[in-house]
Each structure stands twice: as structure tokens, then as C-alpha cells.
Amino acid sequence: MFIVEEYPVAIFCCLITMLCWGSWANTQKLVKDNWRFELFYWDYVIGIFLFSLLGAFTLGSIGEAGRPFMEDLAQAEAANIRSAFIGGIVFNLANILLTAAIASAGMAVAFPIGIGLALVIGVVINYILLSKGDPTLLFTGVALVTLAIVLNALAYGKLQAPGLKKSVGKWVGVSVVAGILMSTFYPFVAAGMDLENFIAPATGKMTPYTAFVIFSAGILASNLLFNSYLMRKPLEGPPISYREYFNGPAGAHLVGLLGGCIWGLGNLLNLIAAGKAGPAISYGLGQGATLVAALWGVLVWKEFKGGNAAVKPLIFLMFVAFLCGLGIIILAGE
């Protein structure tokens, strides 16, 4: 299977993760006017699951290093499979809430709050799981990312659209809950893998490719419960039925599948990189997706349009703080 053995390559994978995790939500933005997020989300999770299988039967099965996917799956212990599956359930609940917040409050608001919180709390949890990297540099970088989140909130508070701010107030709270939940899924997946040795993983542990398949199966299975409930009791708007999903346009379905594949690519590369960079650094860099999403929200979707003169400096300082924080997190693993 394909294994990352050099730290610079691991960092490159994490940066691709950051781009993917920060960009997938654009697919939801493309169809949000004509396609409810609950319907979009079904295609999104199916896309994640299909991409995990693609990765497992290609990169996860070629070459002589490590165990190929089917062999690895057959020897995995039930406790490790269960851990990765639970990780998928936790992630799915968090991501449904985040996707709903993105649909209503915008990428530039929901992402920095939700994913920013996930980054801060998640790095701490993952560092406790496996202490790789300089802790002083690592947590200095996290502190700068936290500052960027605060600056984003201040910029949003200065928008000259009080009706808009009032309408998305509850989505800020939803984003906070999503961020806290999002910070806890990664350790469940990492616990099922042998992070110290992907070439010859311990018996009963899984490779990143197998863990991703089990994780995505947890997402898909839990979606039958979580998303079905939201379709009947939506956070916003009238209830919707599965008939609307199956009668939806092919283009909308394809956009959702694409969004899932984009997120799945980022997740797979992040898990592959975790063996060399450590889970705290790989997760922290991946969740730098906040910066990418904020750029999309500000530059493409114009989500801060209408702010007063103080907004632009705050946005600029937010990006500077994010970039410095991410750079220091990279140095922490040198």
C-alpha cells in the first residue's frame, strides 16, 4: 500500500487535506437555493463512503509494504473496528450540524467557529493520544489560530446588516456544538490504527485505508438515523420526504457526490500522514481548512459584504494569524 515515510511529504498531504476540507462546502453552496441541505447531505455521505472504497482497493492494496485492504480487514480486532465506526457516528452528527449552519449562516461564519473550535480542542486531545512534535510550538500555533477565530467573530459583529445577524444567531450556537463534537471523532479513528508503524502494523490494528472504510461506514449507517430525523424535524424549513430526494435532478446528486469525494480525499491523506507527522499535527493542519473556507466565503461568496471600514483590517489580521499559526504548527513537527 502507499505509505508516507518522509515528513515533508506528510506535510504536503496535510496541506491538501486543508484545501479539501476547506473547499467541499462550496458544493453545498452551489445547490443550496434549489436543494435542501438534508438532501444534499445524503449524496455527500455516499460520496465519502464510495471514495473510501476506491482508496482501499487502489492505494490501500498496491505495493508490497503494509497489509492490503482485504487482508487487513480480515485480521482487524472487533474493538478497533468498533472504535473507527464510532468515530464515524460522532463525526456525522457534528458535520450535519455544521452543514446546516453553513447553509444558513455562510462559510465565513460557520467554518471559523465550528472547525476552529474543533482544531483547538482536537489538537489537545490528539497530542495526549500520541505526543509527537514540540509542544511549545504546537500550542503556540493553536493559540494563534484561536486568535484568528476571535478576529473573525469581531469582523462578523461589525456587519452593517442587523437583520442578517439576528437571523443567524442560533446558527452560531449550532456551529459551537458542531465544533466541540468534531474535535472528538479523530481519536476514535486513530485508536484503531497502529500510528507507530504503517509498514508492519501490530496484529489486530488497521491501516489508514481500512480505518477510513470503517469510519465512513459509521457515517453512512448513522445517517439513516440522524438525517432521517432532520428530514422530519428540520432545524429550519418544512419537513421533507425521501420522495423529494429520489425525484431530485441528477446534477444536484452529482454535486453532492463530488463534495463527499473532495472531503474523502482530504481525510484519507490526513490519516496516511498521521503516521509520520503524528495525529495532533496532521489533524491541526487539516483543520486549517478554516482559513481556506474563510477565503472562499470572503473572496468568492462575498459573505462579509456590507461591513463597515473596520471589517477589512480584522479580516486581514485573521488571515495573518491563521497563516502564522499554521506555519508554527508545521515547525512543531520538524
Higher pLDDT, 156 or 204: 204
Q: Chain-centre distance of CA 213, in angstroms?
A: 16
Determine the pLDDT at residue 166: 47
**Between 237 and 77, where is the model more confident?**
77
* pLDDT category of residue 169 using cuts at 50, 70 and 90: low
- Choose the weakest-confidence range: 100-114, 127-141, 177-191: 100-114
Tens of pLDDT along 248-271? 999 999 999 999 999 999 999 999
> 145: closest CA among 325, 284, 267?
325
The whole-number average pLDDT for the span 158-172 is 59
Please state whether 111 falls in left (phi above 0), alpha (psi between -120 and 50) or beta.
alpha
Which are the contacts of 331, defined by CB distance < 8 A and separation ≥ 6?
134, 137, 141
State mean pLDDT over 128-155.
85
Residue 302 has pLDDT above 70, yes or no: yes
> pLDDT value at position 159?
63
Query: Cα–Cα distance between 268 and 193 in angstroms, integer?
Result: 13
% pLDDT > 70, the chain: 91
Residue 4 has pLDDT above 80, yes or no: yes
pLDDT over 90 percentage in the chain: 50
Closest CA to 325 of 165, 199, 143: 143
Give the residue among 168, 172, 41, 42 at the shortest CA–CA distance from 104: 168
Mean pLDDT across 22-46: 91
Instruction: Please tell me the predicted confidence (pLDDT) of residue 260.
Output: 97
- 280 pLDDT band (50/70/90 cuts)? confident
Band of pLDDT at residue 334, cut at 50, 70 and 90? low
Contact 186, 279 (CB under 8 A): yes
Lowest mean pLDDT among 169-173, 198-202, 243-247, 321-325: 169-173
Query: Residue 152 is placed in which grid cell?
Result: 473573525
pLDDT digit string, tens, across residues 172-182: 888 889 989 98
Positive/negative CA dihedral, 37, 305, 21, 54 = positive
Measured CA distances, 92 to 80, 300, 325 (Å): 19, 27, 27
Q: How confident is the model over 37-47, as pLDDT tens digits?
A: 899 999 999 99
Per-residue pLDDT at 224 exceeds 80? yes
Work out the mean pLDDT of the chain and round it to a whole number. 87
Mean pLDDT of 125-140: 88
Q: CA 278, 279, 284, 288 torsion: positive or negative?
A: positive
Q: Is the pLDDT of residue 85 over 50?
A: yes
pLDDT tens figures, 86-103: 999 999 999 888 877 877
Task: Give how far Cα 188 sits from Cα of 22, 43, 84, 277, Å.
Answer: 22, 24, 5, 18
